Amino acid sequence: MVTPTVTIGKEQHIWAYDADMQPVVTVDPGTVIEIQTWDCFTGQVQSESDTVANLDIHRVNSATGPIAVRGAEPGDSLSVTLIDIRPEEKGAAMCIPEWGQLIHKVHSPVTRIFKVKDGIVHMNENVSWPQRPMFGVIGVAPASGSIPTFEANRHGGNLDNNMNGIGATVHLPVFQPGGQLAIGDMHASMGDGEISGTGVEIGGTAIIQVNLIKGKSGGWPITETADSWITHGTSPDNIDVALQNACEEAAKLLVDEWGFTIEDAFIFLSVAGDLGIAQYCHPSPGSVIAKMRVPKTKATPRPFKL
Amino acid sequence: MVTPTVTIGKEQHIWAYDADMQPVVTVDPGTVIEIQTWDCFTGQVQSESDTVANLDIHRVNSATGPIAVRGAEPGDSLSVTLIDIRPEEKGAAMCIPEWGQLIHKVHSPVTRIFKVKDGIVHMNENVSWPQRPMFGVIGVAPASGSIPTFEANRHGGNLDNNMNGIGATVHLPVFQPGGQLAIGDMHASMGDGEISGTGVEIGGTAIIQVNLIKGKSGGWPITETADSWITHGTSPDNIDVALQNACEEAAKLLVDEWGFTIEDAFIFLSVAGDLGIAQYCHPSPGSVIAKMRVPKTKATPRPFKL
């Protein structure tokens, strides 16, 4: 295990990705950092009587940072490797009125408290399963304006992709000098789609390493795992647009980086790529996030040709 | 390897699932069967000059069968275990005018021929990857009427779920005596979404075993793998409806079979279930098929409590 040389506490956080936000620390590429993150409710949910009804919604989805990386310039990728993600022992999930595919069938609001111990998530005495810790929110300063951490867009933000877990590297497109990375919204477990709008929301710590890829970036963040790279596509509210964006992004990389014809890219994605859903709690006011998983092959070994 | 006691050639096939279709063979539960299936183009595509423009579209998506299973009655599940799936050596995929997320960017029609050898799919000299053989079409006689094998619905049909591969068991809801199973549309590889409308379309043989679960069935087929069970939801054209159906089906099983409250089912699916896409080549005239993967846990060991 690489030893972190910088530590950032959860009290150093943002509620929005601002184009002009200032870093709490500036590090060199290659730096290993320990970050601490709040659960998305910022500690407001401690028992099953703490529902969304008595939540201060202005204190939701903090992201620890910003972290500037020396030398990061617009057009680069700020590549964040999630070396380890360590949830605390208590998490929470919710049914939130008017949110999600099954909301019309349930009484709401409802909160469930989860115990996370020795790598196992316990929902109740009968229901438990192995944790798959991940970050819902990971992003950088956007090209302009201020984007709440609740939303996802080209800068990242609330991507809610459960592939952003241990071992993954997230290549974030840099829009501002230093990049200005901020990370939060840890889940001990979150399903594709996150249909109630919550995973097992939990605080914790993580070990990350930041690197730069000079002069290459995607239109959205791109996640890289041992066997795949995964493009994202977002939309404020339209799943077709999000899916389309994820497809077009993957095809663009196959053509621009790996020499596919666009016809071959289309066919390759149809026969070997997996189009999926990161976040689609519907209905809800949240962003829609789609993903296209491209398998690593000899012809597609990484998102970017270096 | 279990030895098949019945063999059915690809010349025994249907083009539609009819409510009153008659079997080519009737077998006992537990029977192991070798089936041969046409590629979806029924041999019409042999080279890259054979595009959709010169295809007889009435000869697409044959399904080998029907196979009646003795004792199958409406309300049962006809459970089909795909013991082995063996593609031939030559497959094809296409860009079809007006179909799919990237069709506006490509010249079409286009056909690509694939070589499949020793478990590897070869697209061209640079692009190859491990096969993941599966059946696009698997279904039974519907409750009423006649449903072309091109479509998917509660009886199964063109589900295009790449989890319907080697080792999976597909639990098909029985609507007619004997069930009347038919299977086709083999793919050597198909991505989630199948965004061009084609996988690596290929003929081949398969070893299957048929069994019955008496008095239990889903609203749609349910796929079971070593670590998961996966519900389906379909719609003629609306992805939200398909996703909603897959979610509701999974929640229903958690409540009816495994004693979850509906609130706990909603939250469990949000934090541990994976909502995804089986088939969404958009735009296209094909059905939309969504899936919800429920992890097997001590509390959710199978789709049905027996």
Are B271 and A190 in contact (CB < 8 Å)? yes
Q: How far apart are CA B254 and CA B246, in angstroms?
A: 13
In the chain, the amino acid numbered A301 is P
The two tokens of residue A160 are: 């809610």
Residues of A in contact with B295 (CB under 8 A): 129
Q: Is A267 on the interface with B (CB under 8 A)?
A: yes
pLDDT digits (tens, 9 = 90+) for B222-239: 999 999 999 999 999 999
pLDDT digits (tens, 9 = 90+) for B247-260: 999 999 999 999 99
Residues of A in contact with B128 (CB under 8 A): 297-299
Closest to B38 measured CA to CA, from B201, B159, B151: B201
pLDDT digits (tens, 9 = 90+) for B193-210: 999 999 999 999 999 999
| Interface mutation vs chain A, best among B270, B277, B291, B298, most A CBs within 10 Å | B270
| Interface mutation vs chain A, best among B195, B230, B249, most A CBs within 10 Å | B195
Mode of pairing for the β-strands spanning A77-87 and A169-173: antiparallel
pLDDT of residue B90: 98
Burial of A278 (0-12, 13-18, 19+ CB in 10 A): buried
Q: Give residue limits of the domains in chain A.
A: 6-218
Mean pLDDT value of segment A276-291: 98
Are A103 and B266 in contact (CB < 8 Å)? yes
pLDDT of residue B1: 63
Closest to A136 measured CA to CA, from A244, A245, A286: A286
Interface pTM, i.e. ipTM:
0.98
* Local confidence pLDDT in tens for the 306 residues of chain B: 689 999 999 999 999 999 999 999 999 999 999 999 999 999 999 999 999 999 999 999 999 999 999 999 999 999 999 999 999 999 999 999 999 999 999 999 999 999 999 999 999 999 999 999 999 999 999 999 999 999 999 999 999 999 999 999 999 999 999 999 999 999 999 999 999 999 999 999 999 999 999 999 999 999 999 999 999 999 999 999 999 999 999 999 999 999 999 999 999 999 999 999 999 999 999 999 999 999 999 999 999 998
pLDDT of residue B297: 96
Concatenated DSSP letters of B264-291: HHHHHHHHH-EEEEEE--SSSSSPEEEE
Q: How far apart are CA B3 and CA A294, in angstroms?
A: 37
Q: Is A194 on the interface with B (CB under 8 A)?
A: yes
* Residue A159 pLDDT greater than 80, yes or no: yes
The two tokens of residue B220 are: 């749609």
Q: How far apart are CA A34 and CA A65, in angstroms?
A: 11
Instruction: Give the CATH superfamily of A6-218.
Output: Acetamidase/Formamidase-like domains (2.60.120.580)
CA closest to B245 among chain A residues: A101
pLDDT digits (tens, 9 = 90+) for A44-80: 999 999 999 999 999 999 999 999 999 999 999 999 9
Closest to A273 measured CA to CA, from A258, A253, A295: A295
Residues of B in contact with A95 (CB under 8 A): 263, 266-267
pLDDT band at A2 (very low <50, low <70, confident <90, very high): confident
pLDDT band at A286 (very low <50, low <70, confident <90, very high): very high
Mode of pairing for the β-strands spanning B274-279 and B288-295: antiparallel
Judge contact between A149 and A64, C-beta under 8 A: no
Are B271 and A198 in contact (CB < 8 Å)? yes
Concatenated DSSP letters of A103-148: GGGS-SSEEEEEEEETTEEESSSS-EEE---EEEEEE---SSSEEE
Q: Distances from the Cα of B246 to the Cαs of A102, A281, B48, in angstroms?
A: 11, 14, 37
Q: Tokens 């599940």 map to which residue? A: B77
Q: Does domain B6-219 have CATH number 2.60.120.580?
A: yes
Q: Is B184 on the interface with A (CB under 8 A)?
A: no
Distance (Å) from the C-alpha of residue B302 to the closest C-alpha of chain A?
14
pLDDT of residue B230: 99
Q: Between A and B, how many residue pairs show a Cβ–Cβ distance under 8 A? A: 227
